Structure 1
Amino acid sequence: MSIEICNESGVTVDEPAISSVARFALDAMRVNPLAELSVMLVETDVMAELHQRWMDLPGPTDVMSFPMDELDASRRPDSLDDPESILGDIVLCPDFVREQAKTAGHGLDDELHLLTVHGVLHLLGYDHAEPDQEREMFGLQNELLERWRKVRADEDERERRHRADSHVLGTAGFEEPGGTVQS
């Protein structure tokens, strides 16, 4: 699966984590591993222009999704039998999201992870216009995000244990170019 991150927002974000949560959501939704996804992070004025142009709504927003391939029964990106497909673009606005994250009581990265999953689900045809659709989409979004966080915490714990074991065993050093060992 190809996930391209393009940060033109001027805000430093954890791009590998955004890619990781997108990949996790796509894998969990059984999207073809040959699918391509683009995640763009843009400035507030760019997001406001996109929001006005595509949604006919003024001002910036947190996330927008732009599907590229039609999601119909004959060609779905979640079918492993289909050829490579381009899912589309997710556009995030970190400056706008920063205030939203403060209001929600968590950090910018956490909010960007949530919105990345939200954008993936929109690309896969989920919506939240009706109450039953909102319950389904937000329930799935929260489940995917919780599962990703658990997997990530488990990986972090394994890495912490590995570093601790290496330190105890005296193998904590690494070899730098030129053959010198640093610890």
Structure 2
Amino acid sequence: MWQRLTVEAAKLALPGPEVRDSTLVEIVALPLPTVALEDFGTSVGDPTAVYLGQAHSEPDTLTTTINQESGQRIGLHLDNWDRLPYSAKDSARRRLCLNLGPGTRYLLLCPLDAQGLARAVHPDDYAERHPHTDDLRAYVTAGNLLRCLRIRLDPGDGYIAPTEYLPHDGSTENELKPSSAAFWLGQWPHGSIPSLI
């Protein structure tokens, strides 16, 4: 069952001045695209942004990411676009997401970072290991608590998040309409897109 985040807990989640842009999560108000989606990521602050494509999600699904080989939903996971070992995951590019609608979708996000996950699951040799979704499953199977935030994204809302650094997935749980989202990978400086929060 989801619980509202308390004001106190939200304040604790605010980043300090020493936090690197590459590890920040930003919930953003994106302008309506006036260029092709392939070029949109570069038009909002990162000239090197790469368009990853779109995902079309049915309504009322707990998680949205599908394993293309098996057709099954992956659930909470770490991305691996930059192919970095755990020790360098905090320097990976962040992902920009724009909810294209028509329905609302959610970003599911765990405040456990990739390096903390790796140290817990592979304490002797975590630094040069490359992440695997099974590591997250092993973390939970070992009895570790995994908290998860659910952040609402109405059509036109978006996020910039370190999806290689924080376990995450999308969700349309309890929504009646499907939702499509477009994704880009890049290095947007903090505050380059207006914040919704």
- TM-score grouping bracket, smaller chain normalisation: under 0.3
- Select the structure of larger CA radius of gyration: 1
Q: Which has the higher contact order (CA 8 A, sep 6+)?
A: 2
Structure with greater proportional strand content: 2
Structure with greater proportional helix content: 1
Structure 1 length-normalised TM: 0.28
